[in-house]
């Protein structure tokens, strides 16, 4: 018997210090609310940091998507520490290199370029989600 597929856990940088982190957080929301709401679920990084049982239950033994704002990769590390089997990484600092000319500013209120960057990162993440699903279909 097969049931509905579980949603793919997504963690995003909490990004309180830099615009790229804020763009990562916004990208997580765009992915899970707008682009792939039926296939993804945003997990609070703070809960993963604290080892919350429910949050770990969403992640442990699963493939997951991390969207990070800087090279410290807190979201990816949070997912790995929670037991994700494979962490697929989106690095906003790499995404912006593919979208030269964008100048994201702001943290709580990203400017227009910041929102464009977030959407670009979310679209790359959506591609990863689709790839995970395709692999599952072939398995």
Partner 1 sequence: MPDLPKKKVGLIACSGEELPEGTVTRRAVRKVLETLRPDDTVTLCLPLFLAGGEGERAFARHYPTIAVDGCDKRCAARATEKYSAKPVASIVVTDVAKECGCAAIGTVRRLNAEGLRLADEVAGKIVEETDRLLKRKAKGRVPGSAGGER
Cβ 130 to partner 1 shortest distance, Å? 22
- Judge whether 108 and 115 are in contact, CB under 8 Å: no
Report if residue 19 touches partner 1, rule: CB under 8 A.
no
Residue 58 in tokens: 């969403």
Interface region with partner 1, contact rule CB under 8 A, candidates 1-9, 76-84, 92-100, 123-131: 76-84
Using CB under 8 A, which of the segments 1-9, 75-83, 91-99, 128-136 binds partner 1?
75-83
Which among 121, 116, 64 is positioned nearest to 92, based on CA atoms?
121
> Looking only at residues 79 through 98 of this chain, which bind partner 1 when binding is defined by CB under 8 A?
81
Out of 73, 93, 99, 116, point to the residue binding partner 1 (CB under 8 A).
73
**Token pair recorded at residue 34:** 């707008």
Q: Is the Cβ–Cβ distance between 109 and 22 less than 8 Å?
A: no
Does 60 help bind partner 1 (rule: CB under 8 A)?
A: no
Question: Which of residues 2, 97, 108, 139 is near partner 1 by CB under 8 A?
Answer: 108
The sheet that has 63-68: what strands, in order across it? 40-42, 8-12, 63-68, 86-91
CB atoms closer than 10 angstroms to residue 120 = 20
Give the interface with partner 1 as residue ranges (CB under 8 A): 11-17, 25-26, 28-29, 33, 42-50, 52, 72-75, 77-78, 81, 107-108
């Amino acid at each position: 018997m097969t049931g509905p597929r579980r949603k793919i856990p997504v963690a995003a940088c909490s990004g309180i210090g830099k615009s790229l982190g804020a763009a990562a957080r916004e990208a997580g929301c765009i992915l899970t609310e707008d682009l792939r709401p039926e296939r993804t679920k945003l997990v609070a990084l703070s809960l993963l940091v604290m080892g919350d049982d429910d949050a770990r239950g969403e992640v442990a033994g699963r493939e997951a998507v991390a969207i990070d704002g800087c090279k410290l990769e807190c979201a990816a590390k949070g997912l790995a520490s929670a037991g994700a089997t494979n962490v697929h990484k989106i690095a906003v600092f790499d995404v912006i290199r593919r979208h030269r000319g964008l100048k994201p500013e702001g943290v709580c209120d990203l400017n227009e370029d910041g929102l464009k960057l977030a959407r670009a990162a979310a679209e790359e993440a959506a591609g990863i989600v689709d790839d995970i699903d395709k692999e599952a279909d072939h398995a």
